[in-house]
Amino acid sequence: MEFALVVLVIAIALAFDFTNGFHDAANAIATSVSTRALTPRVALLLAAVMNMVGALLGTGVAETIGSGIVDAPPGISGLAVVLSGLLGAITWNLITWWRGLPSSSSHALIGGLTGAGIASLSTVHWSVIWDKVVIPMVASPLVGFVLAYLIMVAVLWIFRNAAPGPTQRRFRVAQTVSAAAMALGHGLQDAQKTMGVIVLALVAGGLHEGTGIPLWVKLAAAGAISLGTYAGGWRIMRTLGRKIIELDPARGFVAESVASSVLYTTAFVFHAPISTTHTITSAIMGVGATRRASAVRWGMARSIGVAWLLTIPASAAVAAVLYLVLSIFV
């Protein structure tokens, strides 16, 4: 029974990774597609490959998720905590995907684990959640917005006398690189979160000790997010690529470059599981604000903001209810 539950949890974790891929595929490629730097299918293939590579580059974020958020009890009860957390996250992912809102899969997962942990009376590490989730959740969009704004102002000044047509064509080519960097950052951040959850399940099931990530877990998570990315997230791509602001290649390049640099810094330096979605969306708004404040469609930005604020409590609530239901049977 316990081993079967471990297998079920791993399967659902990989399903979450797949939904994360198609839900967040737009993060890496929406700007490149909207500026016509890449065709949608080429962009999706590029994102899938770079997601796979990024997923294999580090384990710091995975270890934070696997041991830093909640201490799941051993045995079936602990597996029920992980399962409920995953299902809560998947539910919120599907709701926001259906509505076309780029909410955070990362925060949905963290909220789900927290809600299930509270419902099961497990130890929830609030200090870790504060330091590695809440502070980066607020800081990363602010940093993304301000950096993107300042760098875009610098780019506009540097190229102020350049011919617009050739300059935009060069930035369109450069966007291939920035889109690849963005996809690499997405794999580095988001696939690691699934690795952490799988390790959490293996430890609860008595099949693994410590926080190290086995190679097969890395490969499975990398493959799932890569396949999900190639499946594509067209609804959210439209929101990021067009509904927040009309992007040109220069602004797309700067937004992707800033967002990917924030993702790398938080993953390698702070081991903090930040939201790829928050970071790229705020960077897009930052470059858009250099045109004029009214160029950013703040009504759509408000809708996205509401989805962001609701993500952790909503996924936590769903996970808590699911745990209470599951606890009747296990």
Mean per-residue pLDDT, 23-45 = 75
Alpha-carbon span 274 to 279, nearest angstrom: 8
pLDDT in tens, 91-125: 887 887 787 766 788 889 999 999 999 999 999 99
Alpha-carbon span 109 to 303, nearest angstrom: 21
The predicted structure's pLDDT at residue 237: 57
User: Is the alpha carbon torsion for 106, 71, 128, 84 positive or negative?
Assistant: positive
User: What pTM was estimated for this model as a whole?
Assistant: 0.84
Of 21 and 255, the one with more pLDDT: 255
pLDDT in tens, 39-60: 777 888 888 889 889 988 888 8
Strands 70-71 and 123-124: antiparallel
- Residue 147: pLDDT band with limits 50, 70, 90: very high
Alpha-carbon span 26 to 244, nearest angstrom: 13
Crossing angle, helix 76-99 and helix 105-119, to 10 degrees?
140
